[in-house]
Amino acid sequence: MDRTEAVTPVPEPSKAAGRESESPPAGPVISLQGGTLAYGDRVLWRGLGLDVRPGEFLAVLGPNGSGKTSLLRVLLGRQPLTEGSLTVLGHPPRRGSRHIGYIPQQTSLPAHTMLRARDLVRLGLDGHQWGLPLARPAVRRRVDTILASVGATRYADVPVGRLSGGERQRVRIAQALATDPQILLCDEPLLSLDLHHQRSVVTLVERRLRAANTAVVFVTHEINPVLNLVDRVLYLARGGFRIGPPEEVMTSTALSELYGTHVDVVRVGGRIVVVGVPEGGSGHAHADGAEEGQSQ
């Protein structure tokens, strides 16, 4: 059972919590021009142009191996572009930026893992520093406040290996929000979660977007749980891409052109279902319960 509780707003972090001061850029928080990413002869995407503005929700979709997770790695400064230019918050991407929150794909952890939920959030605050974190009262209060903001206070001292998938995702969101980021990058945060926990995760992300005007880049194979939040869709497939509002990208015509073969996009009861993705480009769907392995 998910041991959740009412969430509370999380205040701005103080300098005691270690947040460096920086004014948000006036323009896009992410600006990618002519972006190409290739591994040897294999091109994941080419000529990608993308501006993401504060408060925008961008959903990134596509089959396995299309470069969705790799795009997040590029934004995090962990993977260089093959070609093109990129600025994040007005600067070239760099590892360990406190202004970018990152929710990675879920991984299973041994039940005997001793790292507690509060320890994981604490790493989001000062994990970039050398040595052991200092037990500062202000930092502990900040951790408690962040855990409360995602409804995770009850299991703050429970080892993360003993948490359910939904509980662990709440803690991961708390960790990602610890430094009050201006950009939130989410890599399949709904994967392997039931509908109840999917809604909980989406609600927490939406609350952050609305309250702090945070830009959200949300990699997913399941657009329906976030469809009401999505401003634009970036759909990656076969080395190409389409980008635009969902009503323009998630159509039979647009996806058929992208895949080079006929693809049906069916809307049923306000939901989107993609049918007829060719073999080798499959592994995703846009109906509840769709699952896939790790994307590249």
> What pLDDT tens digit does each residue of the chain (296 aa) get?
454 444 444 444 443 344 344 555 568 999 999 999 999 999 999 999 999 999 999 999 999 889 999 999 999 999 999 999 999 999 999 888 889 999 998 776 666 778 899 999 998 887 555 444 555 788 889 999 999 999 999 999 999 989 988 999 999 999 999 989 999 999 999 988 889 999 999 999 999 999 999 999 999 988 999 999 999 999 999 879 999 999 999 999 999 999 999 999 999 988 999 998 876 554 344 433 333 334 44
CA distances in angstroms from 252 to 191, 264, 291, listed in the order given: 25, 5, 22
Predicted pLDDT at 97: 87
Q: Is 147 within 8 Å of 156 (Cβ atoms)? A: yes
Give this prediction's pTM. Answer: 0.83
Bridge partners (DSSP) listed for residue 91:
88
Predicted pLDDT at 128: 52
Half-sphere exposure of 235 (CA within 13 A, CB side): 25
In sequence order, which residues have a C-beta less than 8 Å from that of residue 77 and are 6 or more positions away? Answer: 88, 92, 93, 94, 95, 96, 97
CATH number of this structure's domain 27-52+63-107+116-219: 3.40.50.300
Q: Which two tokens stand for residue 108?
A: 């299973």
The whole-angstrom separation of Cα 7 and Cα 10 is 9
In sequence order, which residues have a C-beta less than 8 Å from that of residue 227 and are 6 or more positions away? Answer: 246, 270, 271, 272
The whole-angstrom separation of Cα 28 and Cα 201 is 25
The type of residue at 36 is T
Would you tell me how many other CB atoms lie within 10 Å of the CB of residue 264?
13
In sequence order, which residues have a C-beta less than 8 Å from that of residue 33 and are 6 or more positions away? Answer: 49, 84, 85, 86
Helix or strand or coil: residue 232? strand
H or E stretch including 272? strand 271-275
The whole-angstrom separation of Cα 275 and Cα 281 is 12
The whole-angstrom separation of Cα 185 and Cα 289 is 22
Predicted pLDDT at 294: 40
Predicted pLDDT at 192: 83
Beta strands 83-88 and 30-39 are antiparallel
Predicted pLDDT at 253: 95
